[in-house]
Structure 1
Amino acid sequence: MAIARKLPAWAEYGLLPLLNLLLAFAVSGLVVVLLGENPLEAVRLMLYGAFGYGEAAGYTLYYATNFIFTGLAVAVAFHTGLFNIGGEGQAYVGGLGLTLVAIHLGWLPGILAVPLAVLAAAAFGAVWGFVPGWLQARRGSHVVITTIMLNFVASAIMTYLLVNVLIKPGQSSPETVVFPESAWMPSLKPALELLGIDLGYAPLNLALPLALLCCVGVWLFVWRSRLGYELRVVGQSEAAAVYGGISPARRIMLAMTISGALAGLMATNEILGAQHRLLLGFTGGYGFVGIAVALMGRNHPVGIVLASILFGALYQGGSELSFDMPAINRDLVVVIQGLVILFAGALENMFRPQLEALFARRAPEPALA
């Protein structure tokens, strides 16, 4: 008789997400057929729009950078048993921090101004993440509720500041002055041009290497450090953590602080690297998409990078697709993104029973004593 077994790692982290993704694209293809378009042609146009030339690939990686930061933020909290859905607010406040540095310390040379702005983004995001962590650890307020509420608080604060305090004099648009060029995140365009890659107008910048460096840091911290081990113990069982001499309250606050710092760093790509000024709504929903990225990537940095590139391709390729196929407008592209989130997130275990049964039948039967 076959015995139920857990999936091997390659199936858990590779095959299962791939099946979910293929199902999402299959359903999306049916929607495209109902609109009278060829789904295969739509896929071709989307892939070309995302990777077919230098500028398209640059924009895909630019969007992916935002998702890496917010996906990592969700993953760190998740490993501690927390569900941080406050990435939007934490990124918003991180943007405020780097803006204050860029405006007031922009006279410094870039080698000082940019790192200080990056640190300010992380610090402000960390504080905004620490607050719900402290509220849950010390007051029992659920982190899901507090992070949702703090998203709105951050939005309200930013609206007030950009309308009444930080707005550029003599204009009605709620945005700050353009930062001094010494406070701009350096572009990757000159380096890639040496390799014969033309990014066109894509704002790909050093935030991408920074995001990849954060991936390495998160992997080392979560899986190769004592503190990371303690966070995972708290996430698995607070009772076991207490028995082992680990303080769940302190680890919850630490996890949310790190999570907030990672989300705050998203502003380095969007504000320092592209907009070069603070403006309303720059987060663009990246904090919420980061939840789907973390789920699809199984909360592992490698998976998060791959899922981020996927969603970056959907963002960039979807925009191109809406131009080439008028019947497929931007709203339908959002529907496709939603289907990916649905099957990769809420329905991620749809194929698990079948796969577990398949691997159980293929595994050798244990010898009887």
Structure 2
Amino acid sequence: MSTGTSATDERSPQQAPPGEGPAGLRGLRDAVLGGSALLTLLAVVLALVVGAVLIVFSDQEVLDTLGYLTARPSDFLSAAWDSVSGAYSALFQGAVVDLQADTTSAALRPITETLTLAAPLIAAGLAVALAFRAGLFNIGAEGQIVLGAVCAGYVGFAWDLPVVLHLVVALAAGLLGGAVWGGIVGVLKARTGAHEVITSIMLNYVARFLLAYLLTTAAFQRPGRSDPISPFVDGAAQLPRFLGEGFRLNLGFPLALAAAAGVWWLLHRSTVGFRFRAVGANASAARTAGISVERSYTGVMLVAGGLAGLAGTTLVLGNERYLTGGISGGIGFDAITVALLGRGSALGTVLAGLLFGGLRAGGVLMQARTGTPIDIVLVVQSLIVLFIAAPPLVRSIFRVRAAGASSIGQVSKGWS
């Protein structure tokens, strides 16, 4: 006898219609998007604490004190404190302001480098976060970044256009390249039900090897060079740098902020964004309400790909100004972490991008001044994702009740 339960509710994850995806991935997405700002902050703190433990046990001077720990435990505690405080102090100075610099410009260079590195992270993070809101996992931001960089870079060094027009066309080419690469994932999802995680990962490899091939051709290889490197982008197509050639901060950062504002408007002030969010909340209900789920998947991946293409464009036109095989620098994968830390929202993604940009910038100085392996920064980033994906673990460690976290988490609604 029927109890009113629909057939959709009785399907196994493998039988779910295209877009609804495996229950495990949906559960992870719901846990991330439904988390609170408090839990996010605690996850970062917990990751830094674990990172501090790793710093302590990677310092040879601290390890030497373990030989007589029971006789003089104060030596171990003092050495451990000096190691951790020195490493994190250098990390801060390399990311925000260098208090040991000789000149004002040198002291302020770290914050400009943080903003420079944050720009592509924010744009790519938005590409992943937007797909999250529509119920998709865009693991292909890396490939979309590469295609955006290829298209923008080629227009930048191969075409000869007037000053302003050249930059505009190069930017448009980068956005288009990323949008097309992301759109392929959306079309495959909509038309065949192919899971976006699989197709986007495969397209990452296609993009990477396509770039490697192109850099061996006469059209992309720098004259007089045999290694895989492109000519420099023409000056007319370069993103303007704000503080002169001594600093890398360029127009890419304001463009990333504008993209974040655009994503917020799209999701919360437009009909198209409402459809994306409706599909992400419940694809079957959205389809019943007359929303084309397939068209939404294609549309959201086109926009997400364009955002990742913007990240690639800022890299090749602003940061590096030429193409290499490693132009993306793994930013597409870091973007997943940024989107998770940002809870899938525009503001949260901006803040997470700034944090990760600071970690990237500060990690170099931390290693140079204290000898702390820069890999510690990568471990901290990975731990942040781990703790964000496991809110019960964070609650139990800090003894935060779910109800209390929920009430404090109302703050995070401003992010979404």
TM-score (norm 2): 0.78
Of 338, 348, 358 in structure 1, the residue corresponding to residue 404 of structure 2 is 358
Corresponding residue of 2:205: 152
Corresponding residue of 1:347: 390
Separation in 2 of the partners of 1:54 and 1:29?
A: 26
Corresponding residue of 1:103: 157
Distance 1:61 1:349, change over 3 A: farther
Separation in 2 of the partners of 1:358 and 1:91?
A: 40
The answer to whether residue 154 in structure 2 is matched with residue 63 in structure 1 is: no
Corresponding residue of 2:41: 18
1:155-212 deviations in Å (ceiling 9; x for gaps): 111111111241123211211111221111111115xxxxxxxxx7331100100000
Corresponding residue of 1:6: none
Distance 1:19 1:248, change over 3 A: same
Distance 1:234 1:42, change over 3 A: same
For the Cα contact (< 8 Å) 1:24–1:339, is it kept in 2? yes
Separation in 2 of the partners of 1:78 and 1:305?
A: 16
Corresponding residue of 1:250: 295
What is the CA distance between 1:110 and its match in structure 2?
2.2
What is the CA distance between 1:359 and its match in structure 2?
6.0
Q: Which structure has the greater CA radius of gyration?
A: 2
Separation in 1 of the partners of 2:36 and 2:116?
A: 25
Corresponding residue of 1:367: none
What is the CA distance between 1:302 and its match in structure 2?
0.8
Corresponding residue of 1:262: 307
Separation in 2 of the partners of 1:230 and 1:349?
A: 31
Separation in 1 of the partners of 2:247 and 2:403?
A: 46
What is the CA distance between 1:349 and its match in structure 2?
4.8
Name the SS of the counterpart of 1:324 in structure 2. helix
Separation in 1 of the partners of 2:387 and 2:405?
A: 22
For the Cα contact (< 8 Å) 1:183–1:272, is it kept in 2? yes
Separation in 1 of the partners of 2:194 and 2:179?
A: 18
Alignment of 1:186-205 (within 5 A): 186-190=240-244, 201-205=246-250
Corresponding residue of 1:176: 230
Separation in 1 of the partners of 2:129 and 2:405?
A: 28
Alignment of 1:230-249 (within 5 A): 230-249=275-294
What is the CA distance between 1:329 and its match in structure 2?
1.6
For the Cα contact (< 8 Å) 1:62–1:202, is it kept in 2? no
Distance 1:216 1:129, change over 3 A: same
The answer to whether residue 52 in structure 2 is matched with residue 32 in structure 1 is: no
Q: Which moved more, 1:142-151 or 1:176-185?
A: 176-185
Look up the equivalent residue of 2:202 and give its one-letter code. M
Name the SS of the counterpart of 1:113 in structure 2. helix
Look up the equivalent residue of 1:273 and give its one-letter code. G
Separation in 2 of the partners of 1:303 and 1:207?
A: 19
For the Cα contact (< 8 Å) 1:56–1:202, is it kept in 2? no
CA RMSD of aligned residues (A): 1.9
Corresponding residue of 1:7: none
For the Cα contact (< 8 Å) 1:91–1:266, is it kept in 2? yes
For the Cα contact (< 8 Å) 2:156–2:237, is it kept in 1? yes
Structure 1's unaligned 5+ residue stretches are 1-10, 191-199, 363-369
For the Cα contact (< 8 Å) 1:110–1:184, is it kept in 2? no
Corresponding residue of 1:194: none
What is the CA distance between 1:12 and its match in structure 2?
4.6
Separation in 2 of the partners of 1:137 and 1:79?
A: 16
Separation in 1 of the partners of 2:385 and 2:163?
A: 39
The answer to whether residue 317 in structure 2 is matched with residue 272 in structure 1 is: yes
Distance 1:361 1:93, change over 3 A: closer
Alignment of 1:74-93 (within 5 A): 74-93=128-147
1:3-60 deviations in Å (ceiling 9; x for gaps): xxxxxxxx95421100111111111111112232521222111111111121111111
Q: How many residues align?
A: 340
What is the CA distance between 1:360 and its match in structure 2?
8.2
